[in-house]
Structure 1
Amino acid sequence: MTARNEILSLGNRIGQSIIGQDVMVERLLLGLLANGHLLVEGLPGLAKARAIKSLAKHLSSDLSRVQFTPDLLPADITGSEIYFSEGGKGEFKFQQGPIFANLILADEINRAPAKVQSALLEAMEERQVTVGGKSYPLPDLFMVMATQNPIEQEGTYPLPEAQLDRFLMHVEVGYPDEESEAAIMRLNRDEENAAHGDSPHRAQERLDPEAVFGARKEIGKVTVSEPVEKYIVALVFATRYPDRYDKDLGKLVQVGVSPRGVIGLDKVSRSYAWLRGRDYVTPDDVKAVVNDVFRHRLILSYDAHASNTSADQVIDRITELVAVS
């Protein structure tokens, strides 16, 4: 079986338990393939946590869940040095925290203050943790999926822009359709019956992480033509200098996308094209993922907030105005 077929099979197995959220499942795979981190935003009960748990269930990997709360400490995430005494001699040893896993679920990340949120910065960017002046590398397969609630803002701490920029994509999750909602009920019944022993339990086959690394090597060979490269750069520059395209658009954007945005859009576009069986990127591939890559990197102006204009509306307008050269 090819690496692509193995990844597609992984996505299908995840999709069997995450019903009505095909976009989120696909973005989860894209984050895994592009070696990036995801910020997933949606109302409670939309299978955000269940999605990464399902990924860990079908992929040979360790999962750590960190429930972010106001009383959480940075050491609760990274770990700390603990004094051990044996035979009359004592020494400090580093006790690893939950960050030392392959998949990290940072649940309701905006519930903790910035000092705790910043504990993730080094891990997400440098793939290491520094405690007591010594650095400890994280696993080769490492992805953070953070969740937050879009409507409940009381007692929350907005993520700093520097941390938002570390996330490869910001994925918004909505309600499933009616057919999917009915399927969710049936799935829940089946799972309850299986838990009570009324249904035969079948061992789940888990994908070897080497398949992910092999897929990443193939994605590295996906070509991006010069016109598509210019198109990606033009989209980024349109967020920085929107008044060059439309004066009204220029009033809506305060700060445009950072250089991490152009790198992220390139990575995700190549991964998206690879999933569709192509070894080259088209402008449509770029358009398909640009909202997820740019959504959290745009800082909108007061005029945008006053007119209730969202980042997605600004990005959609930019994609309408920027032409492929």
Structure 2
Amino acid sequence: MAAAKPVMLTTEGPGGQERVVKVSSPDRVIYPADGITKEDLARYLIAVGEPFVRANGNRPVALQRFPEGIEGEQFFSKNPPRGVPDYVRTVMCTYPSGRRHPQLVLDEPAAAVWCAQMNTVTFHPWPVTADDNDNPDEFRIDLDPQPGRGFADAVEAALALKELLEELEFTPRVKTSGNRGVHVYATIAPTHEFLDVRHGVIGVARELERRLPDLVTTAWWKEERGERIFVDFNQACRDRTIAGAYSPRPLPGAPVSMPLRWADLRPAEPAQFTVRTVPELVAEDGDAWADRGAPGDITRAIALWDKDVQQRGLGELNFPPDYPKMPGEPPRVQPSKKVADHWDAEGNRVEK
């Protein structure tokens, strides 16, 4: 069978001008169980283009790409793919290793549609703007249900987290993860770098854990989490990202990470928010994240971290395994495999 001819899709660009994006192999099936093609994904991104760009635009973004569909191989594209259109800009980013290279910035729907042409399914925007990509302007907490817990449990944790963040004078907003979890965000003033913001996230996470000890955990090692909701504090690290608002996820059913109003969170069913259903929902109900809220002061969250350090003797938590060893970090070994006299007070391995 001959390959389908490319299709030319039109979307609105800056100043009302039209952008035309060529989508080759438009009939390539990305979601085999659902019959959703590359063209379907591109048209989805046109349909939700305005709220998608409002949430994810003007930020460095990594692309999770599936050249043969979600059941085939995947890879994360951090360097811009070849053939970037001249209307898609890039920004130089620094990574934990100290190396630097550019990443894409999506300023208009056509940029996202072009990413779909490059077989992108999930968009992973950084929590910083392209203009200041060392100081986060988003406070993000990923509530991840462990085995034995589900979406309804993550919702209860999210509602308690909302109350805590409001006590700190943040304006939290919420979305489904596109799977079993819940993502809670708040806009912050970009006054502190990643490590400080991470400490603020840990401070909030530990306070939430104290309030809901049977439901919430900050334990990094899976063997210590039990049947609880893990607060993934390492999503606040440099070069760590969460699936963006309105981004499709590579799961059967083509679910979307869906922004919600808080009143709609408890009755929500994540499976109802898909590439096929979300355009109509947004057209009817609008963008739940149209108002990002006034920027909060991250120092209020950092104060929780400081109190834990100074009054409770709590310190640093583990960093992602590909990070360089960080000051004060605990040993990078599962607690069940740790032999105490093989590690010094700073968490460095001592060879015997």
Please give the range of the TM-score, normalised by the shorter of the 2 chains: under 0.3
Taking structure 1 as the reference length, the TM-score comes to 0.26
Taking structure 2 as the reference length, the TM-score comes to 0.25
Choose between structure 1 and 2 for higher RCO, CA contacts under 8 A separated by at least 6 residues: 1
